[in-house]
Amino acid sequence: MVKHNKPVGYWKRNKPFEYRKAGETVKEQLQEIYAKLDIRPATYEYGERVLDGLRERFAAIDRTAEYNQAKVLEAMRRERVSASHFAATTGYGYNDEGRDTLERVYADVFHTEAALVRPQITCGTHALTVALSANLLPGDELLSPVGVPYDTLEEVIGIRESPCSLKEYGVSYRQADLTPEGAFDYDAIRAAIGPKTKLITIQRSKGYAVRPSFSVAQIGELISFCRSVKPDVKIMVDNCYDEFVETVEPSDMGADMVVGSLIKNPGGGLAPIGGYICGTAECVSRCAYRLSAPGLGQEVGANLGLMPALYQGFFLAPTVTAGALKGAIFAASLYEPLGFPCVPKAAETRHDIIQAVTLGSPEAMSAFCMGIQSAAPVDSYVMPVPGEMPGYDAPVIMAAGAFVQGSSIELSADGPVRPPYAVYFQGGLTWYHAKTGILLSLQKMLDANLTKLP
């Protein structure tokens, strides 16, 4: 029998829930529990009115998730995944059948010749760096046809000076900016592709930019155009935040490599670390040599007992991504009527899990992030404050109480504290958690007199 050393009357004063009262409805119960989370009835009711108009869109997201779930299941069945594949390996990791089978599962799902899926890849930026440095040689040129890349890649490329950048190793860089409307500037892209252009990198998600994210169909059109100008050019797609949002991936449209992080969509919230590169056998083989060593490639790299989390996370990824998508749509639908510009707009089709909300001031960014942090299952009591972060040129405010540090598929919000003071919301392992976090972000904005309910 467990004894609690609590003072007399503790449980009566501090019990978290009241028993359901006679005749109390489920809605009344919900309002009661949300009130305990500091969400007032008026805020809850506003959220419910918004949700009434989203039922059909949420049903469409569920249909996409069902398709993608079946796709992952089919791949696991085809590769005959078994309990033996969950065994831990150490040291060199030779003959790691669990690791090799997982890579075949990824290749099956992304419809590519090969895949590199490793816990030794520390993050999305690392995966992209491996892919770029493996497939670019001194004298080659890298081209971005979608404007400036994500902040952390600026130092990788050498746009901002850094030791060991691609620039330092003799790789040059060009970019074609998007049109003012956020579309591809095909004339500028044609002019930018030259004799030295070896690899084209396409960032599918918006990152820390207030511009549209791109659909797989749009990326397919861009890939076809680039190949019409230079047939032998290699094309890599930064797929971070995008996996399983649609029923197809950029690899279905001819990309030589699609690259991402396991602590985003494909890890399903369970993967504690890792990244993936799916693509042609030639490109992936070079990536493996760059990640480990020439001559070793994919033969080495122990799984360190992470296989159950990597397999199960990938299996859950379609439904976890669906919950995050619903959260993004709910956030835009909640904030846009209050006068805060959103990218994408509330009614627009989604191509990633990120929702940008332009709040207009550092104070509003702080209030928003405070609400997200207070909804976290981990470190809910912590107050987010802006700070310097490696790879960024402005202080970044970040709210994230995650089971996996930095996991962007878990509920989080962040952004560089600079005009136009946009915060980037993403994730939520369940739709209901995302909903709670968004409502709390709005409640903190209301409490600080930064907005009013309509």
CB distance 303 to 86 below 8 Å: no
85: which DSSP letter? G
Average pLDDT, stretch 334-343? 97
- Return the higher-pLDDT residue of 33 and 14: 33
Q: Is the pLDDT at 54 greater than 70, yes or no?
A: yes
Q: Quick one: tokens of 427?
A: 């994730």
Q: pLDDT by residue (tens digit) across 201-256?
A: 999 998 777 788 999 999 999 999 999 999 999 999 999 999 999 999 999 999 99
**Per-residue pLDDT, 211:** 83
Superfamily of domain 23-65+316-447: Methioning gamme-lyase, C-terminal domain (3.90.1150.60)
pTM as predicted:
0.92
Q: In 3-state terms, what secondary structure has residue 139?
A: coil
C-beta contacts of 234-237 below 8 A and 24+ residues apart: 234/135, 234/198, 234/199, 234/200, 234/283, 235/199, 235/200, 235/201, 235/202, 236/128, 236/131, 236/132, 236/135, 236/199, 236/200, 236/201, 236/202, 236/279, 237/201, 237/202, 237/204
Greater confidence, 261 or 388? 261
Query: Which region holds residue 137: left if phi is over 0, alpha if psi is between -120 and 50, else beta?
Result: beta
Three-state DSSP class for residue 208: coil
- The helix (run of H) or strand (run of E) holding residue 156 is helix 151-157
Q: Rounded CA gap, 147 and 222, in Å?
A: 14
Region 259-268 average pLDDT: 98
Place of tokens 């996409």: 64
Which pairs with CB-CB distance under 8 Å and at least 24 residues apart come from 334-337? 334/46, 334/47, 334/50, 334/438, 334/439, 334/442, 335/442, 337/454
CB atoms within 10 A of CB 363: 14
Over its C-alpha atoms, the chain yields an Rg (Å, rounded) of: 23
- Mean pLDDT within 347-356: 95
**Which range (64-68, 291-295, 390-394, 433-437) has the least confidence?**
390-394
Which helix or strand (DSSP H or E) is residue 236 part of? strand 234-238
Contact 432/363 with Cβ under 8 angstroms?
no
Cα 342 from Cα 28, distance rounded (Å): 31
Q: In what order do the strands lie in the sheet with 114-118?
A: 114-118, 275-279, 257-261, 234-238, 197-203, 141-144, 172-175
The residue-averaged pLDDT of 95-110 equals: 98
- pLDDT, mean of residues 420-429: 94
Position 114 pLDDT exceeds 50: yes
* Side chain identity at residue 384, one-letter code: P
H helices then E strands: how many in the chain?
A: 13, 12
Give yes or no for residue 3 having a pLDDT over 80: no
Query: What is the bridge-based pairing of β-strands 412-416 and 422-426?
Result: antiparallel
Least confident among 57-61, 106-110, 416-420: 416-420
| Mean pLDDT over the full length of the chain | 94
Lowest mean pLDDT among 22-36, 140-154, 286-300: 22-36
Which is it for the CA torsion 314, 315, 321, 323, positive or negative? negative
81-91 pLDDT, tens digit per residue, is 999 999 999 99
**CATH tag, 85-315:** 3.40.640.10
- The pLDDT of residue 1 is 39
Residues 233-258: b if buried by 16+ CB within 10 A, e if exposed? bbbbbbbbbbbbbbebbbbbbebbbb
Asked if 88 contacts 304 with a C-beta cutoff of 8 angstroms, the reply is: yes
- Amino acid found at 321: T
Q: For position 14, what pLDDT does the model report? A: 53
Q: How far apart are CA 301 and CA 274, in angstroms?
A: 12
Cα angle value 120/308/283 (rounded, 5°): 40
Q: Mind spelling out the 3-state secondary structure of 31-70?
A: HHHHHHCCCCHHHHHHHHHHHHCCHHHHHHHHHHHHHHHH
Residue 15 banded pLDDT, cuts 50, 70, 90: low
Q: How many CB atoms lie within 10 A of CB 387?
A: 11
Q: Per-residue pLDDT for 2 more than 50?
A: no
Q: pLDDT digit string (tens) for 309-330?
A: 999 999 999 999 999 999 999 9
The predicted pLDDT at position 212 comes to: 86
Q: Omega into 344 within 30° of 0, i.e. cis?
A: yes
Tokens of 161: 């000076």
Asked if pLDDT for residue 123 goes beyond 80, the answer is: yes
Span 382-415, pLDDT tens digits: 999 999 887 677 899 999 999 999 899 999 999 9
For the chain, domain boundaries: 23-65+316-447, 85-315
CA distance 445 to 41: 15
Which residue, 308, 302, 328, 350, is CA-closest to 441?
328
Residue 104, pLDDT score: 98
Instruction: Give the closest residue to 370 by CA, choosing from 441, 294, 443.
Output: 441
Nearest Cα residue to 393 out of 152, 124, 125, 146? 152
Q: Residue 8: pLDDT above 50?
A: yes
